[in-house]
């Protein structure tokens, strides 16, 4: 595993009596695409703001690019906030040059980089337009460019797909793919499980300020996967079904035709169940330990799925 570009150690942040983030440990490896997954109010944006030094943790330590959060490190980070906003009266090119300048890029270089990006996203002919004169879709594109115009090593995207039209969703996916290929570290927060599942190689699931699961996506699934078993019977016999239902250590069972999806209790190994079924003479066509979806992991770790996480946004 690569050295972490971002690490949080025992980080805590509260607003008055409300604790937003509790004892959070997090390591975001260099070159990874990392999802902070959780429902609204789970502490994703607060975590991101602490990584960016916008807010300070009450306890614990945040390290960015090998050291504490310092201006020099922040210059190598790009940010797309959830609350989008740009200076409405500034001209497009002037705005990008200014934002690059705030990241330590000299004005001349900032101007040429801004022009390259504007060309790439189709804003080249709007350089002298005021931001408020752009369509909503164009402002969204400009907001992505603002996050990457200074060529950052780490890109942080807070709920990047929320409010985007389908064309810009695709444009953002392309940009993220390019950034991944170039080896940049990407951290994005989302409450859409499917986004995390499809775009990321690492994930941290947050709920009510706690990190309830985290690591490489495949590893997280594996860790929580040996509790789910798919059982296929040779025939739809009542005896076979009864034998499955009677087997000890089954927490829940869902039948789909001749196939059962079985959740095992905490201390029960899948092999023990297989032995029991064979001993009971059940004729099996399939016995498979399944990788659960992140949704199942979430439900297992947190309990019920909050309503805003149920509908994928169509990535």
Partner 1 sequence: MSKTVAVVRREFLASIRTKGYVLGTLFGPALISLFIVLPALFSKMDGPRRLVVVDETGRGVGERIAGSLAPEGGEGRYRVEVATPREGRADSLRTALRRRAASEEITGFVWLSPGVVGEGRGGVLYEGRDASSPRDVREVEAAVAGTVREVRLSESGIDPERLQSVLEPVAFSARGIREEIVGATPDELVEAAIYLAMALYFVILFWGMAVLRGVREEKESRVVELVLSSVDPERLMAGKVAGIGAAGLLQLAVWVGFAALALGFGEEVAAALGGGVPELPRVPWSAGIVFLLCFTGGFFLYASIYAALGAVATSSQDAQSLQYFAVAPLFVAFMMIFSVLGDPGGTLATAGTLVPFTSPLVLPPRFVLVPVPGWQLALTAIALAAACWLFLWIGGKVYKVTILATGQRPSPRQLWRWVRAA
Sequence-ordered list of residues with C-beta below 8 angstroms from that of 277, at least 6 positions apart, any chain: 231, 243, 244, 247, 284, 287
Residues 167-186 touching partner 1, rule: CB under 8 A, are none
Give the shortest CB-133-to-partner 1 separation in angstroms: 15
71 touches partner 1 (CB under 8 A)? yes
Quote the CA–CA distance of 308 and 315 in Å, as a whole number.
16
56 touches partner 1 (CB under 8 A)? yes
Comparison of 54 and 315: residue with beta carbon closer to partner 1:
54
53 touches partner 1 (CB under 8 A)? yes
Which region, judged by CB under 8 A, interacts with partner 1, from 52-60, 133-141, 177-185, 286-294?
52-60
Quote the CA–CA distance of 143 and 79 in Å, as a whole number.
9
What is 30-83 written as a DSSP string? TT-EEEEE--TTSSHHHHHHHHTTSS--SEEEEEETTEES-HHHHTTEEEE-SS
β pairing state of 210-216 and 4-15: unpaired
Comparison of 15 and 266: residue with beta carbon closer to partner 1:
15
Comparison of 154 and 262: residue with beta carbon closer to partner 1:
154
Quote the CA–CA distance of 16 and 255 in Å, as a whole number.
48
Which region, judged by CB under 8 A, interacts with partner 1, from 97-105, 194-202, 222-230, 295-303?
97-105
Give the shortest CB-141-to-partner 1 separation in angstroms: 15
Comparison of 49 and 111: residue with beta carbon closer to partner 1:
49
Give the shortest CB-248-to-partner 1 separation in angstroms: 52
- Going by C-alpha positions, the residue among 54, 53, 76 that lies closest to residue 65 is 76
φ, ψ dihedrals at 247, nearest 5°? -60, 140
146 touches partner 1 (CB under 8 A)? yes
315 touches partner 1 (CB under 8 A)? no
Quote the CA–CA distance of 36 and 183 in Å, as a whole number.
19
Give the shortest CB-58-to-partner 1 separation in angstroms: 8
What is 245-281 written as a DSSP string? HHSTTEEEEEEETTEEEEEEPTT--HHHHHHHHHHTT
280 touches partner 1 (CB under 8 A)? no
Quote the CA–CA distance of 237 and 248 in Å, as a whole number.
20
Give the shortest CB-135-to-partner 1 separation in angstroms: 17
Angle, CA 158 vertex, CA 156 and CA 161 arms, to 5°: 115
Give the number of residues in contact with partner 1, rule: CB under 8 A: 29
Sketch the per residue contact string, 73 through 92, with partner 1: x for CB under 8 A, - otherwise.
-xx-x-x-x-xxxxxxxx--
Which residues would be at the binding site for partner 1 (CB under 8 A)? Answer: 16, 49, 52-56, 58, 71, 74-75, 77, 79, 81, 83-90, 98-99, 101-104, 146
């Amino acid at each position: 595993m690569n050295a972490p570009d971002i690490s949080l150690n025992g980080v805590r942040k509260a607003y008055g009596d409300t604790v937003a983030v509790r004892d959070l440990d997090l390591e975001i490896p260099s070159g990874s695409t990392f999802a902070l997954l959780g429902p609204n109010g789970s502490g994703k944006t607060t975590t991101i703001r602490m990584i960016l030094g916008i807010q300070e943790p009450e306890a614990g330590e945040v390290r960015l690019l090998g050291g504490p959060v310092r201006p020099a490190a922040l210059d190598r980070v790009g940010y797309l906030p959830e609350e989008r906003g740009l200076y409405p009266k500034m001209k497009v090119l002037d705005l990008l040059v200014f934002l690059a300048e705030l990241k330590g890029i000299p004005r001349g270089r900032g101007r040429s980089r801004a022009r390259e990006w504007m060309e790439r996203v189709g804003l080249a002919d709007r350089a002298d337009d005021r931001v408020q004169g752009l369509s909503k879709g164009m402002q969204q594109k400009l907001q992505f460019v603002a996050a990457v115009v200074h060529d950052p090593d780490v890109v942080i995207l807070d709920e990047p797909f929320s409010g985007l039209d389908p064309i810009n969703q695709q444009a953002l996916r392309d940009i993220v793919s390019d950034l991944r290929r170039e080896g940049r570290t990407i951290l994005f927060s989302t409450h859409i499980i499917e986004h995390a599942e499809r775009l990321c190689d690492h994930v941290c699931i947050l709920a009510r300020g706690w990190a309830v699961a985290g690591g490489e996506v495949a590893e997280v699934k594996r860790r929580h996967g040996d509790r789910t078993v798919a059982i296929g019977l040779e025939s739809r016999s009542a005896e076979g079904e009864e034998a499955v239902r009677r087997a000890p250590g089954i927490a829940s069972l869902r039948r789909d035709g001749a196939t059962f999806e079985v959740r095992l209790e905490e201390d029960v190994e899948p092999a023990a169940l297989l032995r029991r079924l064979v001993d009971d003479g059940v004729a099996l066509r399939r016995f498979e330990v399944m990788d659960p979806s992140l949704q199942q992991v979430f439900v297992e770790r947190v309990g019920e799925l909050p309503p805003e996480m149920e509908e994928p946004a169509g990535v």
